[in-house]
Structures are given as C-alpha cells and as structure tokens.
Structure 1
Amino acid sequence: MEREQDRTSRMEAFVRVVNAGSFSAAARAMNLTPSAVSKLVSRIESHFGVRLIDRSTRQFRLTPEGELYYERCQKIVAEIEEAERAVSEFTSQPRGRLSVNASMGIGIHRITPLIPEFQRRYPQIELDLSLSDHLVDLVEKQAEVAIRVGPLEDSTLVARKICDSRRVVVASPDYLARNGTPKHPEDLLAHNCLTYNMRATLNEWPFLIDGNMRKIVVGGPVRGDSGETLRHMALAGAGIARLGWFQVGPDVRAGRLVPLLEEYHAGELQGIYAVFFGMRHTSMRVKCFVNFLVEQMGREQPWLAAEYATSAAA
C-alpha cells in the first residue's frame, strides 16, 4: 500500500513540475523544498532507467519519454484530484442516506417527534429509521447509528451519551381496581407483572428497601419483546410494568397509568447513548444527527425525577 502511495506522490510531483515549468514553482505549490521535488522525479527516472526531463540552469524541456509519461500521468492525477474534490464537496455538507436503529420506546416517543425539525435543518439527509428493542449488529443491520439505553458492549464502537432515562413502575387504574395496589416491592410477587421475553435482567426490578438496594425478580402470565408492547398491555389493564418515563409520562399525566412504589425507587438513572463506528472517519451526516439528538434530547429531559415528582403528585 505504501508503494502505491509513493508512486502517486511521484506522479503528482512530475505533473506539477511540468505544469509549473520549474521545480521551485512546483515545490511551492506542494509545500515541499525544490530538492524534495527533484528527488521524487529522479526516482521515477531511476525506476524506468530513462531521463524524463532535460534540465539545466537555462532550459527545461521534456524528453520523448517524458512527454509520453506526462500525457498519461496528467490524466491519472486529474482523476485523483476530481475524486478528492467530489468527496470533499459531498462531505462538506451533510447529505445522503442515514440508517438509524433505535429501541421502540425511544424511537416512537423521542426521535420521531424530532424528525420534522431534523429535516428542516438537513434537507439533503435521507433518514432511514428502524425500531427494535433487541441488541443489533450495526454491520449486519447496515445501520450507521444505534440509539440505546446503555452502551452496546462492543469495543470497536463509540458510545456518546445523549441524556439520562428514569424508569417507573406503573399500572392502569382498571388493573389496580381489580387487583389492588401494591404497597411494598415484595407485593409485586402476587401481581401480574409484564415482563420481557428477551434479556432476563430487565425482569429484575431494583428497589431501595430499608436503605439497601434489592432486586425483585418479577413474573406473570404475559411477556413481550419491547417496552412499547408492555406499555400497551399496561394501558389495557393486563398488569404492572416498569418502563421509561419518556414512554409513560404522558400516560401518567393523563391518568391512564398510575405510578407505583415511588417511595422505594432506587434513584438510578440509565444513560441513553448513540452508538456508532469510530470518530476518525465518521460521516458528516452521522455527526449532525448525533449532535442534533444531544441538543434536542439533552436540553429537555421530561423523564427525570424533578418533573416526575411534580406530575405524580398532581
């Protein structure tokens, strides 16, 4: 690979020397010393075993071999410059298709409402949004960015924190009227708790009991594969769920869901992250999208404790 780069550098030096009419003028254009440019051209001549340029203190002209080489090289160098210019113009303004994968709840309740503003700011970006609560392989899914609660466990990816998320235990008034309201975390063991059918750790609900953190392993007859599925089941009165405040906040404010066991809330916050490939070669469209989410979602966090406490007490 290095030899190909050296060959290209020598070609560029030769073409610039011919176009400028002197080694010193070409050196200034390339930000090199005249001797460095002269060495690059000399290496070409040594490689072919012929003289490409007849040079002296008074004259500068191409040999027949030099004319032939220049005719071909200038086309190659021009193509390289055109390719670099095209990529530079493309990346200077965010554009093109951007594939984003997000969890169901974040995608529906937080990202989709922001899309009109994102389109207004970046009209040349084509957003392709897919939603799933399952952990995804960015390469397999051909996604450039994943939005998840908690960073993905992959050292080859960059996880940038967007904001924090707070979970809350909720149930519908109808369910509570039929089954009673749990007063203590251990009361959940006698209730229908809506659980996930994927990661078992999501069914271990943490509570602060007598000053100590305890996890209650809940269960019930109904399971789902996404927080949004569990939310709809909770709204229908099927059981008790533990979900992100960003999902259920409007339902709590409207009285469709009731927060439970808040006096035992462990106070933990989970980060919401944008996960993508390394920063060094990150496209402009990825940077713009992630920065946009940090600006919009990080500025207003209606799922944090302060607003929650106000809403729950109302």
Structure 2
Amino acid sequence: MGTNDFLEVLPEMVAFLRVAELGSFSAAARQLGMTPSAVSRRVKRLERVLRVQLMFRTTRQLRLTEPGLEAFARCSDLVRAAQETMQVADQYASSPRGTVRISAPKAFARHVLHPVISKFLEEFPEIDIQLLVVDRDVDPIRDGIDLVIRLTHEPPLGLAARRLMPVQPILCATSHYLNKTPKIEHPHDLVNHSCLYLGEKERDNRWFFKRGKETAEVVVHGRYVANHSELRLGGVLADLGIGCIPHFVAHETLASGAAERVLADWDFQAAYAGHAYILYPQTRFSIPKMRAVIDYLVEHIDASWQRF
C-alpha cells in the first residue's frame, strides 16, 4: 500500500472498527446509518486492500483473526486521534463553550444528575449538554462520549476519575407490608419475608450485613425479582416486600413516608455498592468546557448527596 493509499480506505477502517467493537454487522450498520450489506462490503474491501482476512464470520458470531486483532488496535488508535483532533479548537477557547456529551445509568441520571444539570445550564449559558442514559458500561473513546458516569468500587485503569458520591444500597418496605408480616429485628429474620433483589447473578439473593464486629449472611427469596432499582422500588410501593434499593433512588420515597428503612442499624453490604465516578481521558480536562462540567458536578453532587 502506498504512503497515501490509506486515505481511500478510511471509511472501510471505521466500518471494520465498529463491527469488531459491536460484534455485529447489523449493530454497526445502525450506528453508522448504513445497511448491513454496505458495511459488509466495506469490510471486505479493506480485507482485499490489506490482503489478509480480518475476521471469521459465522451465522452466530464474529471472531477476529490475528491480523484482525492488530488492525483493530491500529484502527482504534486512528479514530481516537481523529476525535482528539476535532477537539483541538476547544482547548484554546477563551471561555467554556460548546457541547459536552455525558453518559450515565438511568436511575442515577434521573435522580441525581438531571437536577444538577438543570442548574448548571443556568450558570453556563454557552455550554450545551447531551445526555446519553444507558445501563451499560460506556467507553468514552469508542462511543464518542466526553464524560462517563459509572457506579463501581474501583474506576477502570486508563481513564482519569473523579469521585462524585458514595452509592449505598439500603433495604426498605411500606408500613402496610411490615405491619402484616413477622417483625424484623435481625438480618436472619428476612428468611420469613418476600425480598426484591436484582437477580442478574446467581448470588444476588445472598445478602450480607455488618454491625460492629457482628456479620450476617442471609439467602433471601421473593416473588418479584428485577434488575432495575426503580422497578424494585415500584414493587416495594406495591407492598410486594422488602426491596434492595440505592439510597439515591429511595431518598424521596423515604422522605415522604411512603416507605421506611429496614434494618437501618446494620450496614447492608451489597455487591453493587461503591461510588459514582466521572470518567474521562486525561487529555480532555484541559478543555475549558470539560473542566467546567467536571468541577461543577464534583462540587454540587457531593454537596447534595451525603450519606444519610
């Protein structure tokens, strides 16, 4: 391939990169605004130009070949460099302006992020926010997102991270449910109750508690299992049992008296506890609009959501 020949296959490289990332020609086509057949033709053309097979295709899955893995890494670097080049002008802006794209989990976006963003937009009239609400791990480079909010125990390597707030799961139920069921004085009493848990993993119905030096492990059961916190809260309000809910989702319900905490004197150690972090490539903090959003979210979310 000649020195400048790669310019003719840049679209093919992008198509190959998206197929490799998403594992599907159809998914890549939707993201690129193309038909699956058009994406397939671009990948085949890239293979002809490179004179190697980049991926094995079956009816069920796609698998990269050894040359495909190398090409994937190179194409990823190329797209990352292109995205950073597009942001060069932003780094030299005299004041924060432009659009910042943020991704966040659905419940967190609704209960925590949205109220803060509303106030931010009032204070920074030259910055626009594009919010992607999605319950999956988003890669800021691959997905073209400026800032990613993730709830985790430890932020991933390779990205800058700022801590926003602790994420503490709690147990709650309605007084109507609690008044008609056996009294709960110890975590082991939960075996006699209907409990609402995530159900994503086999051990999600094993709940762990700690109070001082005392610990307890309980295998709970219930008739309604849901992997979304707002659905579990809805189940609690429907008197279906005792729900495991992040405190930021249950906060308003508890404040209104519609539900009450259960075993509040115990530390409920769920697998999905940790902190909310804002993640971004280190180089982006130098961009004024990014720095303005990051600093604002860190300051105002931490101040608004102290553990209760």
Is the TM value for this pair above 0.5?
yes
Change (3 A) 1:253 1:92: same
TM-fit CA distance, 1:183:
2.3
C-alpha deviations, 1:93-131, integer Å up to 9, x for none? 222222212122321111111222111122222212122
Partner of residue 287 from structure 1, selected from 273, 283, 291: 291
Change (3 A) 1:123 1:139: same
Structure 1: gaps spanning 5 or more residues: 1-82, 306-314
Q: CA–CA distance in 2 between the matches of 1:144 and 1:199?
A: 30
Q: CA–CA distance in 1 between the matches of 2:203 and 2:130?
A: 30
Report 1:184-203 matches (<5 A).
184-199=186-201, 203=205
Q: CA–CA distance in 2 between the matches of 1:192 and 1:175?
A: 10
Report 1:40-189 matches (<5 A).
87=89, 91-150=93-152, 154-189=156-191
Tell me which protein shows more helix as a share of its residues.
Answer: 1
TM-fit CA distance, 1:252:
1.3
Q: CA–CA distance in 1 between the matches of 2:204 and 2:131?
A: 25
Instruction: Give % identity.
Output: 22
TM-fit CA distance, 1:206:
2.5
Q: CA–CA distance in 2 between the matches of 1:122 and 1:291?
A: 13
Contact 2:187 2:216 in 1 (8 A): no
C-alpha deviations, 1:131-170, integer Å up to 9, x for none? 2343333345432222222256531222211122333210
Partner of residue 280 from structure 2, selected from 272, 276, 279: 276
Question: TM-score of the superposition, structure 2-length normalised?
Answer: 0.62
Equivalent AA in structure 2 for residue 291 of structure 1? D
Change (3 A) 1:89 1:263: closer
Larger radius of gyration: 1
Pairwise CA RMSD: 3.0
Total equivalences in the alignment: 221
Contact 1:161 1:273 in 2 (8 A): yes
Partner of residue 265 from structure 1, selected from 248, 264, 267: 267
TM-fit CA distance, 1:299:
1.9
Structure 2: gaps spanning 5 or more residues: 1-84
Question: Alignment partner of 2:148: what SS?
Answer: strand
Contact 2:210 2:216 in 1 (8 A): yes
Change (3 A) 1:157 1:294: same
Question: TM-score of the superposition, structure 1-length normalised?
Answer: 0.61
Change (3 A) 1:281 1:110: closer
Change (3 A) 1:168 1:101: same
